[in-house]
């Protein structure tokens, strides 16, 4: 079959890498793709948010399966438009993607169905929002309601900071229309984990647990990014917690979406805070996480096409999904300055050597080919992803491989995976 993968990040490269291993796949197109994907797929210069361009491309290339990576096209209805043309699609419908595209929709849904999440209020009136901040007092979290490329969340330690954040979102319109409404939330304490399930809308199957590292600097300091590294499994999610998350969060939310007439089909991602009150939902995402997708794809044994087909056809309950026992860790290499402004077009060396170990795959994010050389084209550039017998071993391999890669201004965190390694058991599975 012919497959079209939409997106250009490390997440999409890992999806292409996994799909390319399927005996059922004869050809992969990536739109727009990146220099890493180009080794496995034909990259076509159609942007991930060019809905009509993508529908046309899928028809022209007679694609059988389309896999949508990022959230923006899902919230714009890409999955619905592609499905209308009769092809199989992996990606949430526009209605279902509201679980990510509108934080107020997600929060209201959780409240109505008793799914544990931070206490919150939604405001479209600036004065009322200010009064609420004054009444509650810091620490608080202020969020723009709509999609803001992961940047519309302001963590405020004090009341002053929260009032400032309101000004940024509602007065200065720092996130544009995403800030028409704000959510003001209780500041949750604890350790974060990512919990994903495949679902066809009725049946659900969990993926192995993962943990992301959002902040730019070691020790979770500094600004939030798209993610600076991830590992799987995440030992913070003990077997008992796993059951609790499935029973109190994942099963109820999938059922709630069905009840609300927004059948959720695809991969559903819950960002969780594991604290004293047990697991609480920070947010839902209507797609794979990036970087979490990279270690997950390396751990997946089953043919991804079979899984996506079972989801699309409502037959997930018949699928037995298998995972490699190994742990896996992805270290993101970024360019200095990210998540602020940074240079582009810097020549990357050492890619071949870094990927020569069979337990290591270097997934590309912001890269492009320039006259036969691979150069940087984004803030997050590569995801050096390694398997190991434990998170500790996977971590060693990923860091060793990453040292072989160089460019001017290469930056990475030095503590990816340390929360797992430092737990009793030393990051063993």
Interface ranges with ligand AMP (CB under 6 A) = 118, 141, 150, 153, 155, 185-188, 192, 214, 224, 271, 282-283
Which C-beta is closer to ligand AMP: that of 96 or that of 142? 142
Q: Would you say 153 or 381 has its CB closer to ligand AMP?
A: 153
User: DSSP labels for 125-191?
Assistant: -HHHHHHHHHHH-SSEEEEESS--TT--EEEESSHHHHHHHHIIIIIS-TTGGGGSSEEEEE---SE
d(CA 230, CA 6): 22
Q: Which is nearer to ligand AMP, 116 or 314 (CB)?
A: 116
> Which one, of 287, 257, 285, lies nearest residue 270 by Cα?
285
Residue 32: CB minimum distance to ligand AMP, A: 24
**Smallest separation, CB 296 to ligand AMP (Å):** 18
**DSSP-assigned states of every residue in 326-340:** SEEEEEEEEETTTTS
Q: Least distance from C-beta 211 to ligand AMP, angstroms?
A: 11
In terms of DSSP H, where are the helices of 219-339? 239-245, 251-259, 293-299, 304-312
206 contacts: CB under 8 Å, gap ≥ 6: 195, 196, 197, 242, 246, 250
Toward ligand AMP, which CB reaches closer, 141 or 416? 141
CA distance 36 to 384: 12
Q: Could you tell me the smallest distance in angstroms from the CB atom of residue 279 to ligand AMP?
A: 13
Identity of the residue, 36 or 227, whose beta carbon is nearer to ligand AMP in the bound complex: 227
**Site of tokens 């050597």:** 353
Q: Cβ 189 to ligand AMP, closest distance in Å?
A: 7
Nearer to ligand AMP, 42 or 283 (CB): 283
Query: Shortest Cβ distance from residue 191 to ligand AMP (Å)?
Result: 10
Q: Determine the Cα angle at 176 with ends 5 and 132, to 5°.
A: 120
C-beta neighbour count of 263 within 10 angstroms: 18
| Closest to ligand AMP by CB, 153 or 332 | 153
Cα radius of gyration (the chain): 21
User: Shortest gap between Cβ of 281 and ligand AMP (angstroms)?
Assistant: 9
Closer to ligand AMP by CB, 51 or 155: give it. Answer: 155
Q: Give, for 401, the enclosing helix (H) or strand (E).
A: helix 391-403
Residue 187 C-beta: closest distance to ligand AMP, Å:
5
């Amino acid at each position: 079959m012919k497959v079209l993968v939409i997106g250009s990040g490390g997440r999409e490269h890992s999806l292409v890498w996994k799909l390319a291993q399927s005996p059922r796949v004869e050809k992969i197109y990536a739109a727009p793709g990146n220099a890493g994907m180009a080794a496995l797929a034909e990259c076509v210069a159609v942007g991930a948010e060019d809905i009509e361009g993508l529908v046309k491309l899928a028809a022209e290339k007679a694609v059988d399966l389309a896999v949508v990576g990022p959230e923006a096209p899902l919230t714009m209805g890409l999955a619905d438009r592609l499905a209308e043309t009769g092809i199989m699609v992996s990606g949430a419908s526009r209605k279902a993607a509201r679980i990510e595209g509108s934080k107020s929709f997600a929060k209201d849904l959780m409240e109505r169905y008793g799914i544990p999440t931070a206490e919150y209020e939604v405001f479209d009136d600036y004065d009322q929002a200010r009064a609420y901040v004054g009444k509650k007092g810091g620490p608080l979290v202020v969020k723009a309601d709509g999609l803001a490329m992961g940047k519309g969340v302001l963590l405020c330690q004090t009341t002053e900071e929260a009032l400032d954040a309101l000004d940024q979102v509602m007065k200065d319109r720092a996130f544009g229309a995403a800030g028409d409404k704000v959510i003001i939330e209780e500041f949750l304490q604890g350790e974060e984990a990512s919990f994903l399930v495949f679902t066809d809308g009725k049946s659900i199957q969990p993926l192995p647990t993962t943990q992301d590292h959002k902040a730019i600097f070691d020790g979770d300091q500094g600004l939030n990014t798209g993610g600076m590294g991830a590992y799987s499994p995440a030992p913070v999610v003990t077997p008992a917690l796993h059951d609790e998350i499935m029973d109190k969060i994942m099963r109820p939310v999938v059922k709630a979406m069905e009840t609300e007439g927004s059948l959720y089909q695809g991969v559903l991602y819950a960002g969780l805070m594991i604290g004293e009150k047990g697991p609480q939902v920070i947010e839902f995402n209507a797609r794979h996480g990036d970087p979490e997708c990279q270690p997950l794809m390396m751990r997946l044994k089953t043919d991804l096409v079979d899984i996506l087909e079972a989801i699309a056809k409502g037959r997930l309950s018949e699928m037995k999904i298998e995972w490699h026992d190994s742990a896996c860790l992805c270290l993101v290499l970024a360019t200095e300055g990210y998540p602020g402004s940074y240079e582009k077009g810097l020549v990357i060396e050492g890619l071949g050597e870094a990927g020569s170990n069979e337990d290591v795959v270097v997934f590309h994010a912001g890269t492009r080919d320039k006259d036969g050389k691979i150069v940087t084209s984004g803030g997050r550039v590569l995801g050096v992803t390694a398997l190991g017998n434990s998170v500790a071993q996977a971590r060693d391999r990923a860091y060793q491989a990453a040292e072989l890669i160089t460019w001017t201004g290469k930056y990475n965190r030095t503590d990816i995976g340390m929360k797992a390694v430092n737990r009793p058991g030393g990051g063993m599975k």
